[in-house]
Amino acid sequence: MSFRNLLLVFTLSSTSLLVNAQEALTGTINLRDAFAAVMRSNPRLHSFQFREEALLGRRESADLNPPLRASGGVEEFLGTGNLRDFTAPEINIGLSQVIELGGKRQARLGVANRRLDLLTAEQRVVELDLLGETIQRFIDVASAQQLVALQARATEIATQTIELLEPLVAAGRSPQLEQDRAEAARIRAEAAEAMAVAMFDSARIRLSAMWAISEPQFDAVEANLLSVGTPGSLQTLLSNIDSNPNVAIYASEERLREAELQQANTLKQSDIQWSAGVRHLRELNDTAFTIGASMPLFTESRAQGQIREARANLQEVEARRAVTLNRLRGEITSLYQRLNQTISEVDLLQDEVLPRLESVQEQSRIAYENGTYSYLELISAQREYLDAELALINSATTAHKLRAEIERLSGEPLLAR
């Protein structure tokens, strides 16, 4: 599914997906749940309905013809001679209206419609930013969740070490100080586990803040953090840049500038103002009809400034689009290289390093129990194993974040994972 279609699905179905974001997001949530909550409840999206309403009002005004004007007046009174009073005033009553030529009304409507289209494109950009930020925070929660499990495993290993030492110390095969060191290691492991839980709670709060909830109701996220997949084709990523709302918005802005240029060109055609009315001549006790027309001169030369401005604005949009495309291609290529390296590191840790260190840890425990390994060698093997697990979590987190950023920049669907 393309990113544009993904946004459309969320926009049309968010009401059915979430009657209330806070009530729905409980228990274990997945990425789609988080996306739907953001699309429904994030405050940044609320302003667009008011901006749209304002533009609809502007379009309604643009669709109006020039107003019909009524006029009236009194002439030839309060003079200095025979007209010093109201003995012979002329009373005029008339109507007038401008007849627009050159398609000015249609041009105004075109600009108004293009502004609405641009607002929709701007909303897509904001939605893209919000969904990109959501997935980054979702990854943070998944990473913190994995770290809690790792620290719990570290506490379990420390407890197992104490259980291993107790009979050896009681039998005099190991000194008491080794058991004291093991007890201290368990306390530190429990403190680290508590800190990991606090980090997990903090990550949950940051994620739920994306849908304006300060106290998250969900307990965990559904994510396979350690599965990073393959990087895909760089050429495919680069070819999808045009579907990115940050690039697609230039097409909407270009259509707006074209409509403004067309509107400026209509100013070269002069409008005609007609007028008609009646005039009462009191001196003759007679009433006559009047009719007239007028139009401004030299409108084509007066319109050149606005035409020049509109043409320059149109050309500037294309220049900015080219700059954006060049920047995105460079960023995607750089991130892609980092992603490749990070995925290789994850695969190496999972396939080569961790199986060996897990085996070394088990063998070290047996060797220490048999008296052929020292306590220092035992805890060193445990620490190497836990450090490798932590490195795997960090590398996998980095890989997912790099992939999410690449997908955001390239226009790939964020849910394709």
Q: Are 99 and 74 in contact (CB under 8 A)?
A: no
3-state secondary structure of 381: helix
Tell me what the pLDDT averaged over the chain comes to: 85
pTM as predicted: 0.81
> What does the block give as tokens for 290?
């009047």
Q: Can you give the pLDDT at residue 331?
A: 93
At 17 the pLDDT is 40
Q: Cα 59 from chain centroid? A: 27
* Whole-number Å distance between alpha carbons of 143 and 196: 10
What confidence score (pLDDT) does residue 85 get?
58
Q: What is the pLDDT of residues 196-218, one digit of tens each?
A: 999 999 999 999 999 989 899 99
CATH of the domain at 190: 1.20.1600.10
List C-alpha distances in Å: 383 to 141, 155, 358, 369, 377.
25, 12, 11, 18, 10
Confidence at 233, pLDDT banded by 50, 70, 90 = confident
Name the nearest CA neighbour of 196 among 139, 150, 137.
150
Q: Are 226 and 235 in contact (CB under 8 A)?
A: no
Question: 43 near 212, Cβ under 8 Å?
Answer: yes
Range of the domain at 189: 3-410
Separation in Å, CA 184 to CA 179, 189, 196: 9, 9, 18
In whole angstroms, what is the distance from residue 317 CA to residue 322 CA?
A: 9
Q: For 28-72, what is each residue's pLDDT tens digit?
A: 999 999 999 999 889 888 889 999 999 999 999 888 888 888 887
Residue 416 lies in a domain: no
351: in domain? yes
Q: How far apart are CA 151 and CA 190, in angstroms?
A: 8
Nearest partner of 253 among 117, 150, 348, 368, judged by Cα:
117
Is 417 among the domain residues? no
Residue 76: the pLDDT is 61
* Cα distance between residue 378 and residue 204, in whole Å: 36
Owner of token pair 């004291």? 180
Tell how strand 272-281 and strand 90-99 pair up.
antiparallel
Instruction: Answer whether residue 287 is part of any domain.
Output: yes
Three-class DSSP category at 292: strand
Query: Rounded CA gap, 395 and 403, in Å?
Result: 12
- In sequence order, the 6+-apart residues with CB closer than 8 A to the CB of 334 are none
Specify the pairing of strand 272-281 against strand 27-29: unpaired
Is residue 415 in some structural domain?
A: no
Q: Give the residue with greater pLDDT, 147 vs 271.
A: 147
Q: How far from each other are the two terminal CA atoms of the chain, in whole angstroms?
A: 12
DSSP for 202-249 reads HHHHHHHGGGT-SS--EEEE---TT-------HHHHHHTGGGSHHHHH
Residue 286 has pLDDT above 80, yes or no: no
Q: How many residues does the chain have?
A: 417
What pLDDT is attached to residue 100? 85
Neighbours of 293 (CB within 10 A): 11
Q: Inform me whether the pLDDT recorded for 16 exceeds 80.
A: no
Please indicate whether residue 345 or residue 94 has the higher confidence score (pLDDT). 345
CA distances from residue 351 to 257, 346, 356, 385 in whole angstroms, order as listed: 56, 8, 9, 14
- Token digits of residue 82: 């025979």
Give the total number of structural domains in the chain: 1
**pLDDT attached to residue 312:** 94
Q: How many helices (H) and strands (E) does the chain have?
A: 11, 6
Q: What is the pLDDT at residue 74?
A: 66
Phi, psi at 219, each rounded to 5°:
-100, -30
Distance CA 179, CA 173 (A): 12
